[in-house]
A and B are shown apart, each in its own frame.
Chain A
Amino acid sequence: MPTRRRALFVLAALVGLAVLSLFTALAAGSMPVSLADVLRAVSGRSDGLAVEVIRGLRLPRALAAFACGGLLALAGALMQVLLRNPLADPYVLGISGGAAVGALSAMLAGLALALVNLFAFAGSFAAMLVVFGLAHGDASWTRTRLLLTGVIVASGCGAVVALIMTIAPEEELRGMLFWLMGDLGHSSSPGPALAVLALGLVVMLPFSRELNLLSRGDTLARALGVPVDRVKLGIYVLASLLTAVAVTTAGSIGFIGLVVPHLVRLAMIRLGWGNDQRLLLPASALFGGSLLLLADTLARTVIAPQQLPVGVLTALLGVPVFLFLLGRQPDERR
């Protein structure tokens, strides 16, 4: 268990990492800019072409990337507590599936980008309500039932997505594919995502100790005075909201939500600090944000001027990491 001072020290270091990632993202790209340009653009003084590029294009995209990474990592950490399963991720309960159905339907109908986003959000919200309604039918919360309902809804959405892509005209397919892989190319207004990330942290941090108890079992949490059903409902709604906002901003970017909380937890356990949500939640948000920001910078520079969907990169990086962690798990139990 970390002490409060150590936890604050780690968080300060992660804030440093986030700032560093932000500067990297602002400085990197097809048009070379100097560090002085970046500082000028951020401090808001003067203008010029470099400042325009940074302030108008790179900064919104960088902030959106950071916000999405933070949202996904935080939602993943919350889902892992809710399902008491270290392998849960924000999409396991079908939220990204619902968003994909919404977004692709809007694209199929040829709607504008703003409407695509709106449909994505509506779709994720609908999926959340369906899963919650079905799993919560008799007012009892069984994990298996929640998980099964989510997985089934997700696979149903997958079928609808496949259907839409089959009947979609050729020229729409590329946009749909980018949306499905996760892409930050169209993210111009990071405000809502950043606000929801801050809201999520502010709402959840006071309950971190309750989450610690919940991750050790409902009975223990009840015995120690946690209103288990309410806290679980809160986690479910909040994690769904965080995921929905992230998916609406950037499509379904994979693996950040699964791998980041896992990496942070692994590092904490190595340091002998255990699985303490008081540090894990904010650290996951900061680390997830920085990681997606760096991945997105790589995605738009590695084969420039061609851009990769960032989801492809996170998956390419995430799959080996995930398999590595999965392979190591039996060792920890010995």
Chain B
Amino acid sequence: MSGGEAIMNTPLLEAKRLAVDIGGHHVCRALDWRVDAGESWAILGRNGVGKSTLLATLAGFRAQQGGDLSVSGLALPQPGQGKGLRAIARVRGYLSQHQFDPFASTVLETVLVGRHPHLGRWDWESAADRRIAEAALDELDLGGFADREVQTLSGGERQRVAVAQLLTQEPQLFLLDEPLTHLDLSHQVAVMEMFARRASKGAAIVAVLHDPGFAARYCGRALLLFGDGEWLAGPAGEVINATNLTRLYGHPLRELSADGHRWFVPR
């Protein structure tokens, strides 16, 4: 096997016997899971089941209760350790549910922040970094927004700025906590299609989603969290169905088909 193939075969994210708890309940027990380049995963589950907690653990923000985690072959540093964090940040990006702007700042500055892990200690953002940021803004339909003050943006615009910041980081592994928050329908579709394009070029997507229809349409695979540490992972075509979703959400759901897409509506 050549070196190139070895890199190709290293999963972007790998969990072995992963155990994650929050607030005294199990999010997942003995999770064996790998995410390879080119894959898109949806994480589905009820409110409070621990989807965001799992995502934060995968990002290395909180310690797991058991098992091993690696990102692109690198073991995640324990929270509180400083070494290796920047190397991880060059590979994995994380989109938070909430954005904070306590200080005034323009959209372009906010997006350029994503270049941090690629810059040396004394480096300033170069013209090339700016071009990356501007391309990301264009891709999110924010072309004329570079000089706008972030504190004046609407919720949906601010969310797209956060996605543009994530693109500027240029990670291979995208961990997305509810990426469609605040977005209108057209931008929901545009953002999911943009991530699907990234995946087709060799990135990997792991997204916490609330709409199983979007999950089935844009994610090839799904991880279902049932709330007692139990989980189910597999191709979306097999895992996302009315029976599993009814059990997952504790509410009867019905599957509808239109234009070759499956949609799930509550009964």
**A positions within 8 Å CB-CB of B:** 1, 3-4, 84-86, 206, 209, 212-213, 215-217, 219-220, 222-227, 229-230, 265, 269, 272, 274-276, 278, 332-334
Contact = CB atoms under 8 A, between A and B. Distances in A.
B102 A223 contact: no
B9 interface: no
A84 B103 CA distance: 8
Contacts of A333: 151-152
Contacts of B105: 216, 274-275
B113 A272 contact: no
Contact of A212 (B93, B113, B147): B113
Contact of A209 (B82, B85, B116, B147): B116
Given A213-B113, A274-B109, A225 B147 contact: no
A206 B121 CA distance: 6
The 5 A-B pairs with the shortest beta carbon distances in the complex, nearest first, are A225-B89, A227-B82, A225-B86, A223-B94, A217-B100
A266 to B, nearest CB: 9
Contact of B124 (A3, A213, A217, A225): A3
A223 B113 contact: no
15 contacts: A84-B100, A86-B103, A213-B113, A216-B100, A216-B105, A216-B110, A217-B100, A220-B99, A222-B59, A225-B87, A225-B90, A227-B81, A227-B85, A275-B104, A333-B152
A251 B210 CA distance: 57
Contacts of B151: 332-333
A278 B124 CA distance: 9
B81 A85 contact: no
A84 B147 CA distance: 23
Interface in B80-136: 80-82, 85-90, 93-94, 96, 98-106, 108-110, 112-114, 116-117, 119, 121-122, 124-125
A260 to B, nearest CB: 16
Given A206-B121, A209-B116, A216-B113, A223 B86 contact: no
A230 B78 CA distance: 13
A274 B106 contact: yes
B102 A215 contact: yes
Contacts of B59: 222-223
B96 A206 contact: no
Contacts of B93: 223
Contact of A225 (B102, B104, B110, B117): B117
B142 to A, nearest CB: 17
B116 A332 contact: no
Interface residues of B, number: 43
Contacts of B169: 224
A220 B89 CA distance: 11
Contacts, number: 96
B33 interface: no
B181 to A, nearest CB: 14
B149 interface: yes
Contacts of B60: 222
B254 to A, nearest CB: 37
B161 to A, nearest CB: 12
A220 B96 contact: yes
Contacts of B85: 222, 225-227
B85 to A, nearest CB: 4
A227 B89 CA distance: 11
A206 B119 CA distance: 12
Contacts of B152: 333-334
A85 B102 contact: yes
Contacts of A278: 124
A19 B48 CA distance: 60
A269 B104 CA distance: 7
Contact of A224 (B80, B108, B113): B113
A216 B101 contact: yes
A220 B169 CA distance: 12
Contact of B80 (A213, A223, A229): A229
B61 interface: yes
A86 B149 CA distance: 17
A243 B36 CA distance: 51
Contacts of A85: 102
Nearest to B100: A217
A24 to B, nearest CB: 33
A225 B117 CA distance: 6
Nearest to A278: B124
B139 to A, nearest CB: 20
B116 A224 contact: yes
A217 B37 CA distance: 29
Nearest to A206: B121
Residue from B90, B108, B113 having most chain A Cβ neighbours under 10 A: B113
